[in-house]
Structure 1
Amino acid sequence: MITTEFGDLVAERLRVEHRTLAARWFARLIDLLPVEARDVFPSESLLDHVPELILEIGEYLRQPDVDPIAANSSIMAKSRELGALRHGQRASLHQILREYQILSGVLATFVLEEVERLPLAPPPAETVLLVSRLHQAVAIVCQSTVEAFVALYTQTIAEQNERLEQFTRMAAHEWRQPLGALQFGVSLLRKADLDEARSERTLAAVDRNVQRLIELTHKLHAIARVQGSADTPMVQKVRAGTVAQEAARQLREMADARGVTVQISDNLPTLTVDVGRLELVLVNLLSNAIKYSDAAKTERRVDVEEGQQSDGWARMEVRDNGVGIPPHALSTIFQRFTRAHTRDDLTHVPGIGLGLAIVDDCVRAMGGRIDVRSVEHEGTTFELTLPLVAPTQ
């Protein structure tokens, strides 16, 4: 049995040192990581949760005769919050188990250190019982965190499967139309009595549909390339304006066909960046802005401008006066296979919801972020925030 006095002394020391112990745990964890801490802990929230868990575990040790720690709604709620946090931070299940293993070791070592310096000497059996109770508490808290993490992970898998099924349907629809047109065009061209004018129109239709299939294939390849571990980025110092001009050049025919003016600012920053990914980002943003230009407006334009700068970071804005994005779609537009527009007059715009997913993947890979503001019927602004110097890979 653990005496109340012994439990109180250890619990009080845990209360006093809970932040120091959390820092010790974090230092131990960082020593074992093969990557930068920021890659595993992208926010400071973890360092708020762990000290609170240590406090709650200390209170549990203070009262040896209370119900099991699983009955403590406060500590169970905090452990579930931690599971949700680590899921949001894209941690792995192995990382979570390792984190709790280290926490258990840090707390047990602390208890043994305190036994050495306590004014009373508890029997060895009592010390063993307290450490055992501590390990049990950490194990139960760990289980609660893992259950919350796995539940969210399972939900994510289900959502991804649903989007994959949606993609399969949309891709089949997107491929079916140009393939049908190609099949019909080939059958026409085989006719011996086809006049020259009809033949030219048919060849033009065949060419358009081939280009559409090529564009779709390029988008699928782009997603695979951005996420592929074997991809080697070409990082170099470059003027963002030069990359933007090249992206606009590639889309000049599309812009001219829709009467859209693309204007590139002369004040865009100079970056040390993966040029291929930056170009892919700008091509997709400009392409979207051109495709969703507002035919009802006499002046249709897309502007690429410098945003507000800060130490070590550059900002660029791609702004258009197109049809805008519905408010309900703003939170999901960067998800794969998601299209923002369901209006009848816009569903003809080609695409299967990959362009902005490619943009988001590229920006993340470059160590940056992308934000969007939009008002329907007025236009959309995408703000890119990128480091002036590419982070070390």
Structure 2
Amino acid sequence: MTDTSRRPGTSAPDGTPPRRSMLNDAGVRAVLFQIIAMAIVIAIGWYLVGNTLHNLATRNIQTGFDYLSREAGFAIGESLIPYNATDTYARALWVGVVNTLKVSLIGIVFAMLIGVVIGVARLSSNWLLAKLATIYVETLRNIPVLLQLFFWYGLITEVLPAPRQALQPIEGVFLSNRGFKMPAPADHPAWWGALIALIVAILAVRFLLARARRIQAATGDRPKTLIPSLALLIGLPVAVWAVMGAPLALDMPELRGFNFQGGVSVSPEFAALTLGLTLYTAAFIAETVRSGIQAVGKGQWEAAAALGLKPGVTMRLIILPQALRVIVPPTTSQFLNLTKNSSLAVAIGYPDIVSVANTTLNQTGQAIENIALIMLAYLTVSLSISAFMNWYNKRIALVER
């Protein structure tokens, strides 16, 4: 009698291969485990959301975002866009977002400029310059940024005099504990025309530089671009301004009562926040720039010197372009840190998104919604900065041949 039974995984008497269970397939198991993990996460999230909504309903706490259409009823100290207390909570929160963007963008630009200068200075052959740059970096990096914000805010509000005794370093510029006042061009269409012309000039210069690079790659000779670029950047806006009437009137700040009226105003809160974030972040960027420059081989310096290039030209055209591939990724992180650190503005009274949302929360009692909006605002801004810097990083990446 023939025994037809066989152990699992062994071949049949006729030689056919054994049937394998789907669970023995690594790919199937990977997908199955991911489905199980996702189901667990969804179940936990469902429980937490349901439990939160139940607790809110039990305590008669209103949920949802309907409150955004109600009148805010509170004033905001400064805003780039029109706002008054009769506007909605949505408008107030948008003012906070715009104020956060203003501080972040200005801080990023100046932190990058200062960081590059300090980073290059740390590598200077001038002993005094290098030591001063080192002191700047080591001092500011090791003091918490919140303390630096308090320092700058206290310096402006406590050391500077009252408006009636304001310092006047330049005609029309006043420095007081109420902030900084400067002249501004009087409202006239010519100024807007000049601004549009400047934007057009910047685009034209970019095209000019790109054309010069293409000619250099094809022929080895680079056309001169400095004078044409300056002519576009200066001549075009001035020409448009002149054609549209060449207005020279300025809106000068004047002392009226206990403060100045007119001109451009920079509040103590904005000045302290911008100074603190900019100088603090610039110290970290300086170290990134220094390490990026040092990552470029010494042979590049030697080759440039052999060609008779000056150190400044070598740094600008040879060293920095190669160092950027090392500098850009960590600098992106510093830009994000500056943006997120702007949430400390609430400590010195600057009306950013966190400050405005906190006021909204105190009036409406809807903490979850307001915190969610704060998180969404910072997430959107941070992802936008990351996307732009990743695009720029890919654009400047060295292409292997």
TM-score (norm 1): 0.27
| Structure (1/2) with the larger strand percentage | 1
TM-score (norm 2): 0.26
| Structure (1/2) with the larger helix percentage | 2
**Greater relative contact order (Cα < 8 A, sep 6+):** 2
